[in-house]
Structure 1
Amino acid sequence: MASTSTEATDPYCLREGESAALLRGHGWQRFVVLGDSVAEGSCEPTPGYSDQQWADRIATELDAARPGLAYLNLGRSGLRAHEVRGTQLAPALAFGPDLALVVCGGNDAFRSRYDADIVDAELTAMIVALQQADADVITVGMFDVSYSPAVPDALRPGLRERMRLLSARTAKLAERLGTVHVHLTDHPLTADPTLYSIDGRHGSGRSDAIATAETLRRLHSHLAGSAS
């Protein structure tokens, strides 16, 4: 089912001028992204919405608010959490970021033998290392892809349980470690089929537009908290 909205009219997306207001005065100069296909960018185009991927959109808005942003996206499709840490953490640290987005664990949670403790340990190692290098870290509880129309009915309950466990565990980790956490799992539209691609694993242009809006709003809250 196609969305009847466009990005300009969608109440869950950024309004004209909102991004500039949210990011006004930000000091980030070096933005790095670590993760899987969600980080790399694999959303399915949606008529009426930008084709630019989520992480790239964040970088574009940060640069618009403060030109000269250095941006490195290390995300690669298909990686599990331990593979993200093993292949991306070292180059991320070498980049010298002051802002980092870490999004992974979804490929682990797609497996029936998902081990939440192992994923937590991998996420913790990445977050702590980046924070020790003086980077603010963004973590994410993603939209619940078990609602995708492409997911077979027989697989929905197990996938939903694992995806929500990943989200809940990541939220607790974020609270403990003090990350900028973007919680999308319980978004009002998480069960809307227009948020998901036909492959049953990824999002649409609409979901990336909404995720961008929510991420910038959380970054604004972080900036406001830091200034107070």
Structure 2
Amino acid sequence: MQHEHPWSRYVAIGDSFTEGIGDPEPDSPGGNRGWADRVAEVLGSRKQDFAYANLAIRGRLLNQIASEQLEPALELKPDLISVSAGGNDIIRPGSDADEVAGRVDELVRQLRSDGATVVLFTGPDIGMTPVLNRMRGKVAIYNENIRAVAQRHDAIVADMWSLRELGDPRMWAPDRLHFSAVGHHTVARMVLDALNVENDLEPFQPEPLPPRRWRQARVEDIGWAREHLVPWVLRRVRHQSSGDNITAKRPGF
């Protein structure tokens, strides 16, 4: 017998991770599904009159999430809020993990003001990701700050760093910056486990990958850099965002 959970109104805020980029689904609002939609589907199946909104927009920095999504989220009177914010700040050169986490602390304080359960995310281990792996230490420091923020505000931590399945390349979309459908599914299972909600989502049981020759790996890395990394860097230089002119896919219940 599956038990009913205590939440009736769930709001997700954040950036591309929460919007569901990397998990295309034409029938979903905005054309992407993602882990938050998957979590909401399970929660909705366990609770009558369950409501779900997703205000996340790709490319958003922490200050933009706080200024654009905080107030609309609180106006919906949720009893469950997930927030993944600060990742786009952390991977920018010169950012300070402690300073970014301090702003997350203030955001969580406000999200908790009406007593809603808040779910926070640690960043995944990016040690296997070309270029971004140089920031692995900064992400680890940020994660420790996030755990401290959660403890101060009695929030729940969805720990992607310890989710070792994310080290499998099949968990990632071709851009190596966002999760694939399998990755989003795996994160959804982890979030539901963090919420102590029973679910029937199947765990990832991969077949072994064939070995890659060094030359093949280098060719693939060069192709990835040309198609995905260079455009990403150019957007940073030009102060552009992949979320320009994008609106929230589920702005209300």
TM above 0.5: yes
Instruction: Using structure 2 for the length normalisation, give the TM-score.
Output: 0.70
Is 1:28 the counterpart of 2:7? The answer is yes
Alpha carbons 2:11, 2:81 under 8 Å: kept? yes
Q: 1:26-78: CA deviations, max 9, x gaps?
A: 121111111111111112469xxxx7310111111111000211111110111
- 1: distance between equivalents of 2:173 and 2:148? 28
1:99-178 maps to which residues of 2 (within 5 A)? 99-148=80-129, 151=130, 155-178=131-154
Deviation (angstroms), 1:167:
2.0
| Larger of the two Rg values belongs to structure | 2
Q: 1:190-211: CA deviations, max 9, x gaps?
A: 3221111111211111111111
The percentage of aligned residue pairs carrying the same residue is: 28
Instruction: Using structure 1 for the length normalisation, give the TM-score.
Output: 0.77
> Counterpart of 1:140 in structure 2: which amino acid?
F
- 2: distance between equivalents of 1:104 and 1:194? 24
Alpha carbons 2:91, 2:132 under 8 Å: kept? no
Gaps of 5+ in 2: 26-31, 198-253
Q: 1:68-89: CA deviations, max 9, x gaps?
A: 1111111011111111101110
Is 1:208 the counterpart of 2:189? The answer is no
Alpha carbons 2:166, 2:183 under 8 Å: kept? no
1:65-76 maps to which residues of 2 (within 5 A)? 65-76=46-57
Alpha carbons 2:35, 2:185 under 8 Å: kept? yes
- 2: distance between equivalents of 1:208 and 1:142? 14
Alpha carbons 1:30, 1:70 under 8 Å: kept? yes
Q: Which runs of 4+ in 1 moved over 3 A?
A: none
Alpha carbons 2:19, 2:58 under 8 Å: kept? yes
> Counterpart of 1:203 in structure 2: which amino acid?
F
Q: How many residues align?
A: 191
Is 1:52 the counterpart of 2:33? The answer is yes
Deviation (angstroms), 1:218:
1.1
> Counterpart of 1:136 in structure 2: which amino acid?
T
Alignment counterpart, residue 64 of structure 1, candidates 19, 24, 45: 45
- 2: distance between equivalents of 1:159 and 1:116? 10
- 2: distance between equivalents of 1:163 and 1:200? 16
- 2: distance between equivalents of 1:89 and 1:45? 26
Gaps of 5+ in 1: 1-19, 222-228
Is 1:37 the counterpart of 2:16? The answer is yes
**What value does the CA root-mean-square deviation take over the aligned residues?**
2.0
Q: Structure 1's 70 and 36: CA in aligned 2 closer, same or farther, altered over 3 A?
A: same
Q: Structure 1's 198 and 162: CA in aligned 2 closer, same or farther, altered over 3 A?
A: farther
Q: Which residue of 2 aligns with 1:181?
A: 157
